[in-house]
Each structure stands twice: as C-alpha cells, then as structure tokens.
Amino acid sequence: MADWLTRHDDRVTLALRVQPRASRDEVAGLHGDRLKLRITAPPVDGAANEHLCRFLARLFGIPPSRVTLLKGTTGRDKLVALEGVRELPEAIVRLLPGVAESEGHR
C-alpha cells in the first residue's frame, strides 16, 4: 500500500496531516508520508477531532463509532483507525502508488 495507509481485513489505519479551519472538508492529497485532510472545524475543545472522525466516517461509509483517534489529539499529525471498511473511497484510491483503476480496491 502506502506509508500513510495500512489495511488488515476490514481495518484501515491512516497517518494524517490535518488542516483545521479550512473552507471545506476534503482530501487534499499527500503531505510527506501522510495523507492531508482539510476540515472546517476549528482546533478548539476537541471540535476538530470530533469533526475529523465524522468526516472520515462519511468518506468511508461507516458509522462514526467505528473511527478511533489513536494518536495526535492535540497536534495536526494524527493516526486514525477505521473498522468495518469494505471499500476504499475513490479520493483515497487515486493517491495510492501503483494502483490501476481497473484493479479494484476492495
């Protein structure tokens, strides 16, 4: 896979660089060895972390309760685990090295 994504069965772990207070929630590409995400929430009283978990849940089509922040509660660099992932979203697949569109991504 990639340095920023590991997958074991239906569990995906992402190494993230998060930019809070963005104009919209989006996958912004890569930032070194991390996936860069922009989110609209400010980094105040855990609001950005909660918003990040809800954004990732929507992106991967899983309940928010299946998203766990493993590291980085106070910084921009975070490690997040997602349980119950059946398929990687296209916004993620297109950033994976050596993955052809026709290969699939289940």
User: Cα–chain-centroid distance for residue 63?
Assistant: 14
| pLDDT number for residue 1 | 65
For 61, counting Cβ atoms within 10 Å of its Cβ (0-12 exposed, 13-18 middle, 19+ buried), the class is: exposed
Q: Can you spell out the DSSP letters for 25-38?
A: -EEEEEETTEEEEE
pTM of the model: 0.90
Average pLDDT on 80-105 reads: 82
Residue 102 pLDDT more than 80?
Answer: no
In this structure, which amino acid lies at residue 101? E
Tell me how far apart the alpha carbons of residues 24 and 74 are, in angstroms, rounded to a whole number: 21
Domains and CATH numbers, the chain: 5-84 (3.30.1200.10)
Interior CA angle at 32 toward 30 and 19, to 5°?
A: 60
Average pLDDT on 14-36 reads: 97
